[in-house]
Structure 1
Amino acid sequence: MPEISVILSTYNAEAWLEKVLWGYECQIFKDFEIVIADDGSRSSTKDLINRFQNTTSLQLIHIWQEDDGFQKSKILNKALLACNSEYIVMSDGDCIPRLDFLEVHAKHKQRGYFLSGGYFKLPMGISKKIKEKHVLSGKCFSLKWLKKQGLKSSFKNNKLNSKGFKSELLNTVTPTKMSWNGHNSSGWKDDILAINGFDERMQYGGQDRELGERLFNYGIKSKQIRYSAVCVHLDHKRGYNTKESIAKNKAIRKYTRDSKTIWTSYGITKESIELTA
């Protein structure tokens, strides 16, 4: 049983997923498996995964469901059940991890807590320029290289070059809330199962945050690793981002916060259980 199971969500984005998998091949921390939560991708995604299984040391598990629109919460629940580890790191198939990404999650994991990370968002032009060699060499995390590709100066650039004391300090002073972020968070599998996983009514827009809010209601605290566990987010279109889904999800999240709900009846187990803090 590996120490960590990494869940990566994906949908018809082989070019991005390939770059991300190269990032995991480079990890300093090696005791992990990757469970790919595939929300109905075409066969070329499976072909890519098979190639990595045959040519790299990565342990890959491919969980696929029929394409029925944006059903990320549903496939994530299936992926959760497929994880062999007691500890789960969640990210996306468009987030390339720095070589110490899993090392940081492993170092900071602690019973009674989940870890809240962030990402560094790249524009589309730079996202397309990143090749295998830039991932393997770590250049895609180099401010010098990224600025040559057109990256503008910003305080957020500190996410890329902060380590040690600097990253710990920025983790402490950042005003960003310690929420569960689907692109970079981790927690104990039994805690996530205890709240019945993701609410499958929720489509795009905060379904990850709602899971974190139920973890809080369950008594789990969070720790900030925003500037320590670094990944770069490759840009992409978001055709599934609709006003209707955002409004629906906000209403569900409001109910979760106001009622202190722990359990969702629309998660892994489809039954109603009254569990509140």
Structure 2
Amino acid sequence: MRITVAILTYNWPTALERVLEALARQTRLPDEVIVTDDGSRPDTRAVIERVAATFPTRLVHVWQPDDGARMSRARNRAIAAATGDYIILLDGDMVAEPHFVADHEAFAMKGCYVQGSRVLSDEALTARMLADGSVRATFFTPGIERRRHTLRLPWLARLYATPGRKTRGIKSCNMGFWRDDLIAINGFNETMTGWGREDTELVHRAYHYGLQRREMRFSGLATHLYHRTRKNVVDNPNDRILDDTRQRRLVRCERGLDQHLAEFVAAPPDVRSPTERAASP
């Protein structure tokens, strides 16, 4: 089982550096990490190249021009470029606990996708984490919300993992899918731009296709770095697209992943030098 972690980023290179550092310290390394970039400035590429000097596994940077918030397109390009059988979707402000990838691997099940959770850090804790990569959110750390999501309890996690079709708490910042399932439903809907609902719309099509959800609580832990929210969108057009998907029970979207598969028939290059690539497992 090859695992790709696909990180969505946009113009926050200091956060991205912490996210990559956390993935480099995993007990089970991903086989590939793809940073899919929604049009960041060159300083993001500079961080990726600096991290690549010591990164322990294949590292790819996929960039698209900045033309507004096109998260669906950016994620689809990462899925198309992925060489893994299983894809963990992670946002560029989510710092993973050391067992994050191993837990996702343990929860992966055919016919299901995995929905992870997150710890919310406040502005002060985020500043500490950005300044010092060794700072981690634990149950007793001040400045966090959803404190229960700091607890890694694999025996309890298994009790929550019964497959179902829950629609609350859908978050693409921490999700796991088999790549073949994402291809079958044509990935994210690229008619959805701006903030929100693209992950919910994807999951509804996944349910129409026949997938179920495995809830990953007390496992697959990650800390969300604080930033101002963009959730308060009035009359969001993405809501109407979501409603249409529900009413028509759509499985595939018209504008999706298939637009990018031909571009990535040959896998994109590893950012690391040939010497570093040869030294990796």
Same structural fold, with TM-score higher than 0.5 when normalized by the shorter chain: yes
Shift of 1:31: 4.1
Q: Which runs of 5+ in 1 are unaligned?
A: 271-277
Letter in structure 1 aligned against 2:138? S
- Which structure 2 residues correspond to residues 1-277 of structure 1 after superposition, within 5 A? 3-131=2-130, 133-135=132-134, 139-144=135-140, 146-147=141-142, 150-151=143-144, 156-169=146-159, 177=167, 180-203=170-193, 204-238=195-229, 242-244=233-235, 247-269=236-258
Letter in structure 2 aligned against 1:232? T
Letter in structure 1 aligned against 2:188? F
- Cα 1:55–1:162 change in 2 (3 A) is closer
Letter in structure 1 aligned against 2:180? D
Q: 8 Å contact 2:26–2:99 — kept in the other structure?
A: yes
Letter in structure 2 aligned against 1:267? G
Letter in structure 1 aligned against 2:110? R
- Cα 1:167–1:86 change in 2 (3 A) is closer
Q: 8 Å contact 2:114–2:213 — kept in the other structure?
A: yes
Shift of 1:53: 1.2
Structure with greater contact order relative to length (CA < 8 Å, sep ≥ 6): 2
SS of residue in 2 equivalent to 1:121: strand
- Cα 1:186–1:241 change in 2 (3 A) is same
Q: Can you list the C-alpha shifts for 1:20-52, whole angstroms capped at 9, x where unaligned?
A: 111101100124211111000000100110111
Letter in structure 1 aligned against 2:177? G
Q: Distance in 2 between matches of 1:164 and 1:42?
A: 40
SS of residue in 2 equivalent to 1:193: helix
Larger % of helix: which?
A: 1
- Cα 1:167–1:29 change in 2 (3 A) is same
Q: Can you list the C-alpha shifts for 1:84-119, whole angstroms capped at 9, x where unaligned?
A: 011100010100010000101101111111001111
Q: Which runs of 5+ in 2 are unaligned?
A: 260-281
Q: Distance in 1 between matches of 2:161 and 2:131?
A: 30
State the TM-score, normalizing by the size of structure 1.
0.85
Q: Can you list the C-alpha shifts for 1:43-91, whole angstroms capped at 9, x where unaligned?
A: 0100110111112213211000111011111111111110001110001
- Cα 1:215–1:179 change in 2 (3 A) is farther
- Cα 1:28–1:162 change in 2 (3 A) is closer
Q: Can you list the C-alpha shifts for 1:115-137, whole angstroms capped at 9, x where unaligned?
A: 011111111121011157553xx
Q: 8 Å contact 1:115–1:180 — kept in the other structure?
A: no
Give the CA RMSD over aligned residues.
2.2
- Cα 1:268–1:177 change in 2 (3 A) is closer
SS of residue in 1 equivalent to 2:53: helix
Shift of 1:240: 8.4
- Cα 1:209–1:239 change in 2 (3 A) is closer
* Partner of residue 275, structure 1: none
Letter in structure 2 aligned against 1:44? D
Letter in structure 2 aligned against 1:38? D
How many pairs were matched up? 256
Q: 8 Å contact 1:116–1:178 — kept in the other structure?
A: no
State the TM-score, normalizing by the size of structure 2.
0.84
SS of residue in 2 equivalent to 1:243: coil
- Cα 1:239–1:222 change in 2 (3 A) is closer
Q: Distance in 1 between matches of 2:103 and 2:187?
A: 24
Q: 8 Å contact 2:37–2:61 — kept in the other structure?
A: yes
- Cα 1:134–1:61 change in 2 (3 A) is closer
